[in-house]
A = this chain, B = another copy of it.
Amino acid sequence: MSSMNNFALDAAIKEAWRYQFLTYPNPAVGAAVIVKNRLFVSAHKKAGEPHAEVNALWEAYKAFFDAPPLTISHEIHEFLIKNHNGFFRESNVFVTLEPCSHVGKTPSCANLLKHLKPKSVTIGWLDPISEHSGGVEMLKSAGIEVNVLNDKRCYDLIEPFIKWTNDKFIFFKLAQSFNGAITGGYISSESSLKWVHQIRDKIELLVIGGNTVRIDRPTLDARKVNGKSPDVLIYSKEKNFDKTIPLFSIPKRRVFIEDNLEKINDYKFIMIEGGERLYKKLKNFVDWKVFIVTPKIFDRINYKSEDEFEILHVERRDDLIVFGRSND
């Protein structure tokens, strides 16, 4: 299988991005299986749930055979190992990240593949965590053809994971109209607002500017998805706030009001929600920028800065969600 023919990997990458950040503390991973001339694509969706390749293999199996409604990873592993009956022998598997060799919350994916014995496994990026790696060797020892691509796009997918595992990962979220307007009420679509709540349910700390708190009086919770509310750092020189603002009365939430960002070092996964002032100040401090761009042009002034970034991915929903890496 040559690297010229990785449209299946493209599909796996695209699928993985749909769950970027939502797999915290796990990495975003996608997988595809071509079996009996059909293409099945899936992703890891949430920590504790099946890994990407298990989801894709299971989708493929269920498309051809009657199968019980399993959702728990070790049950799917066991079922497939017992019942695959050689079904995957001529299949080609694509995974954005090396299949895990270790047994954690879920069983080892390399072990599962060893039993299913597909014709080939194409891997976008090797596992950066040494205790997880070894998947390639397990597959090779089972006689499976393994192709390791070192595809930078697969590294991009797991960069947040690498950062929050080793230290911390910080991204700036900014919602804008297509022509750069960011003020004057909600700009994003309802589905983007819901996505922001999904993200808030995963992050540990939300950083926000003092003016936003004073003017918008936001709650900064994850109510749209019944999620948990992150701790909040109000980045402000002025320490005096109206404490009846709902964000101060969320149970178990800690709220800090600071004129510096030191508190960030106590957290692993941090989102900054801000406007022009905070963007100008922190644009080179953050790892990634996430722009929610609405396909509307407003008769309102834009935010301004001097900045470039590398586009990593564009997710098309009702709005565009543009993931960018800060240039150093």
Contact = CB atoms under 8 A, between A and B. Distances in A.
A302 B302 contact: yes
Q: How many copies does the complex hold?
A: 2
Interface residues of A, number: 49
A37 B92 contact: yes
Interface stretch (A6-14, A101-109, A211-219, A225-233): A6-14
B35 A37 contact: yes
A39 B5 contact: yes
Nearest to A179: B180
Interface in A14-41: 32, 34-41
Interface string A147-179: 000000000000000000000000000001111
Given A1-B38, A5-B39, A295-B324, 5 more contacts: A7-B32, A7-B39, A34-B34, A35-B37, A301-B301
A179 B302 contact: yes
A241 interface: no
Interface in A299-324: 299-311, 314, 316, 320, 322, 324
A181 interface: yes
A93 to B, nearest CB: 10
A163 to B, nearest CB: 21
